[in-house]
């Protein structure tokens, strides 16, 4: 029984993944037009759908809003009882319906057209009423649902959700929406903490630091004393010229390098440095990309003012 369950679960994920991959190869001008319309929209983006498609519409509205595009979900039933008053001719309405024939949405078409809002539809049927009556249509057609009965919306709703994410990310990218913009709309989560490096960094006194004239032995003593696994190497103006780590030391010892060797001959030059005014979340992104665990922190004049480690980010709950 357990193996059958696992096989079925694998089949569901495979079917849904395959349908999304098929759709990715069919992304065309209509999708680009939708992105362009959203970017230049002077109003808001209103998403609507009924049933499962309605739940997906709500999630897409949330994703758009959190990435810089004012959006909200409008229930089609409530729209017929007054909520249409929220729509203006500057808005865009995005309808989601697998069949493209959901009567709760179709009844709204002439009313929204009278208001003057642009209509974008995401449907699985290119011969449907929603397809025909929309200004822009994006296909969410699938060849197979993951449901063994072929009845429950599964692959089709997964594809709708993926298309919504693709819209949001394309719009985010073209608007140059950055980390600071994101955290302003997420004040309640750990990502939303506007924490700057200077707020959580290790101060200069606790940061391992030696001069260019030092030896490998001096570096070992500093690393051992400060216990951060590295030491900065600075010039006479306290400007970082390199970094020397535990890993560097082990490699040198394996090569039988003398401990009297000048550190200037073995340090990693041009270390990655960050400004103390940068956001802590930026440091995390660079750590993940560069696969490193520490930074040297500098002042405007490029002088060393401290350091930042992965442990610093853990303590500040940035991770």
pLDDT exceeds 90 at position 311: no
The pLDDT value given to residue 49: 95
The pLDDT value given to residue 143: 92
The pLDDT value given to residue 31: 96
pLDDT per position as a tens digit, 103-159: 999 999 999 999 999 999 999 998 999 999 999 999 999 999 998 887 788 999 999
pLDDT exceeds 60 at position 177: yes
The pLDDT value given to residue 186: 52
The pLDDT value given to residue 188: 54
* Domains, the chain: 2-177 (3.40.50.10490), 197-315 (3.10.580.10)
The pLDDT value given to residue 183: 57
Quick one: what percent of the chain has pLDDT higher than 70? 94
pLDDT per position as a tens digit, 23-59: 999 999 999 999 999 999 999 999 999 999 999 999 9
Residue 58 phi, psi (nearest 5): -65, -40
Residues with Cβ < 8 Å from 98, sequence gap 6 or more?
Answer: 53, 123, 124, 125, 140, 153, 156, 157, 160
pTM for this predicted structure: 0.60
> According to the per-residue pLDDT averaged within each range, which of 53-67, 140-154, 168-182 is highest?
53-67
Q: What are the CA-CA distances from residue 62 to residues 10, 172, 225 (Å)?
A: 29, 13, 50
The pLDDT value given to residue 241: 92
CA nearest to 214, candidates 177, 144, 266, 136 = 266
């Amino acid at each position: 029984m357990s193996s059958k369950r696992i096989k079925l679960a694998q089949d569901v994920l495979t079917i849904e993944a395959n349908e999304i991959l098929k759709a990715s190869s069919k992304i065309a001008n209509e999708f680009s037009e939708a992105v362009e319309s959203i970017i230049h929209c002077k109003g808001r983006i209103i998403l609507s759908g009924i049933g499962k498609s309605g739940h997906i519409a709500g999630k897409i509205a949330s994703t758009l809003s959190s990435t810089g595009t004012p959006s909200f979900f409008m229930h089609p039933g409530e729209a017929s009882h007054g909520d249409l008053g929220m729509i203006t001719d500057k808005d865009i309405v995005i309808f989601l319906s697998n069949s493209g024939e959901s009567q709760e949405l179709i009844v709204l078409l002439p009313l929204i057209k009278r208001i003057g809002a642009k209509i974008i539809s995401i449907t699985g049927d290119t011969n449907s009423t929603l397809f025909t009556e929309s200004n822009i249509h994006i296909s969410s057609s699938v060849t197979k649902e993951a449901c063994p009965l072929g009845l429950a919306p599964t692959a089709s709703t997964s594809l709708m959700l993926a298309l919504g994410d693709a819209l949001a990310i394309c719009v985010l990218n073209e608007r140059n929406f950055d980390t600071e913009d994101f955290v302003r709309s997420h004040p309640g989560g750990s990502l939303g903490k506007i924490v700057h490096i200077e707020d959580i960094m290790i101060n200069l006194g606790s940061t391992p630091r030696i001069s260019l004239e030092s030896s490998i032995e001096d570096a070992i003593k500093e690393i051992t004393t400060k216990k951060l696994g590295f030491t900065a190497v600075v010039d006479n103006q306290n400007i970082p010229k390199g970094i020397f780590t535990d890993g560097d030391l082990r490699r040198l010892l394996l090569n039988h390098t003398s401990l009297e060797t000048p550190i200037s001959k073995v340090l990693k030059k041009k270390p990655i440095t960050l400004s103390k005014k940068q956001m802590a979340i930026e440091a995390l992104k660079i750590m993940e990309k560069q696969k490193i665990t520490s930074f040297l922190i500098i002042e405007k004049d490029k002088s060393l003012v401290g350091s930042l480690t992965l442990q610093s980010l853990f303590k500040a709950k940035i991770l």
